[in-house]
Every structure is written in C-alpha cells, then in structure tokens.
Amino acid sequence: MLTVDIPTHISPSQVSQLAQCPARYLLGRAYPPETTPVWNVLGTAVHTAIQAAIETGMPFDNTIDLVKTLIGEYDSASIAFQTRTTKDNLVATAAGCVETWWDQVHPTGKNRLPEYEALGWPPQTESRFNLPGGPPVVVILDALYSTAFGPIVVDWKTGARSRSRMLQLYIYWWALRQSGIAKPEHRPRGWFHHLRSGKLQPFDWYPGDAVIQAQLWAADRTKRAGHYDPQPNDFCPVCQSQPHCPIFTGDMTDLDAARKAVRWVQLERNAA
C-alpha cells in the first residue's frame, strides 16, 4: 500500500521546494525515481570530502582520493545525468570542486580568498539547529565562523549556476538569531561559495525575523493543509516526477493517491 512519509519539521530545502512546486515535493516522495539526480551525487560527495578535510586535517591528495572514491561508489546506471554534468565528466567535476575549495578556502590554498584570510580556522562544520518555536525547524550549516564581529555563515555550492536564492542564507541567519549566536547588534554576514566558478555570492542584508517566519509558516501550512498543487516552472523539463504529474499526464490519479497516503513522521536524526 502506498504511504508517503512527510516530516513534521520544516527545513530550508523544504521551504524552497514547496514554494517552487508543492506537487513535486509530494510526488518525489510518493514515487521516488529509480535514478538519483546527478546534483545529489555530486553535492553529497563534495560536501563529505570537504567536511572530512576540515574535521580530520586530511591532506589535499587524500581529500581528492576520497571524493573520487565516493563518486565511484555509485553505479552510473543509477544516476540521472544532465547536459552539463555527464557520465564522462562527473569525477572530474567533483575533483574540480574540491580543488577549487582547497585553493580558495583552505589555509594552505595558493589562491586563498581574502574573505577567508580574515577568518579563523577551522570553521564549525555541519552545525545543526533544532528550533521548536512555531513550526519545528531544522537547519544544518556547511560552515560557521565565529569572529569578533559576530558569526559568518558559508554554504558551499556544487551546481553549475553561480547564483542561488538568498532565502536559504536568510533562514540560516534567522536560525542563528533564534539560537542567540547572532546578536541584534550583529550585521548579517556570509556567502554562497560556488565551487564550479569559484565565485562568492555574499549576503549582507536580512529581511527580518517576521518575513522569514512567515515563509516557514507558509511551508508548514502547505503541508498540513495538503495543498500539493502542481505549479509549472522552469524546473519542469528536468523534473523526475513528470510521469506522475497531472500537468504532463492530464490525469489526477497519482497525485490524489499520494495526497491520501500521507503519513506524518517525527524528525529522524540527521534528517533535513
């Protein structure tokens, strides 16, 4: 029998997914594709290698070996490739992301960016915040630096684009404020670091707690009300839920079945 596990908590990625297309959020859980999107494979391997380098002091060559090993654990037939990241360039792309990270971020990097030079080493990795007020929210940060001027939050990106939606960093800053790490006098500071292009996308403005809380509540309401309507957008051409989406099939059967099969699940450790 079909059951669709929906977490009771909200995370930044859920806020983005639900805002982009609520049907995709539900259908992806109800009918998981047989293949893993290549960006998941790449992102997981690169983040795991970077985290190991920071936490264990692993040297450069071993970090590159690690990311190659992690990619090699996937059967390429189980990966959904895309035009820019193909079967032939996946390993090189992953190694390239780690090389750029090392070059621009690591204290031994030859082209360390001034933004990192001013910070201490190592940053705190995978900082996790469970925030129960309002809808329960779980936030996990790639890197958190403590400075005399307040915290700096960094998110390493492995996608092909050099721009990401700032909402993710705003939610991170909201979490730092809720947990008392970012004080009212601290200026919001941080950036996305796009490892394919080597470009930083900084944020130094924050829309305010009320705006972010409204977004979190909106995501929570969508889930609780079961409003999983399809919302066509520029992701549709590569959406793996197309075979179940009424926009493409003209048939509501799969979406209706998924709606009826929702089962609420409490937070699991390491879930996001």
Footprint of ligand SF4 (CB under 6 A): 21, 23-24, 27, 230-233, 235-236, 239, 241-242, 245, 247-248
Minimum Å gap between C-beta 60 and ligand SF4 is: 39
Closest CA to 173 of 197, 205, 218, 214: 205
The CA distance from 126 to 111, in Å, is 25
CA angle 131, 136, 140 (to 5 degrees): 55
Would you say 29 or 186 has its CB closer to ligand SF4?
29
Would you say 190 or 230 has its CB closer to ligand SF4?
230
Minimum Å gap between C-beta 69 and ligand SF4 is: 33
The CA distance from 6 to 266, in Å, is 9
The CA distance from 230 to 223, in Å, is 14
Would you say 205 or 235 has its CB closer to ligand SF4?
235
Would you say 53 or 239 has its CB closer to ligand SF4?
239
Minimum Å gap between C-beta 29 and ligand SF4 is: 12
Strand intervals (E) in 69-136: 79-80, 124-131
Would you say 50 or 239 has its CB closer to ligand SF4?
239
* CA 128 vs CA 44, 71, 156, 210, 269: distances in Å: 17, 25, 16, 22, 10
Minimum Å gap between C-beta 2 and ligand SF4 is: 17
Minimum Å gap between C-beta 264 and ligand SF4 is: 22
124-131 vs 36-37, strand pairing mode: unpaired
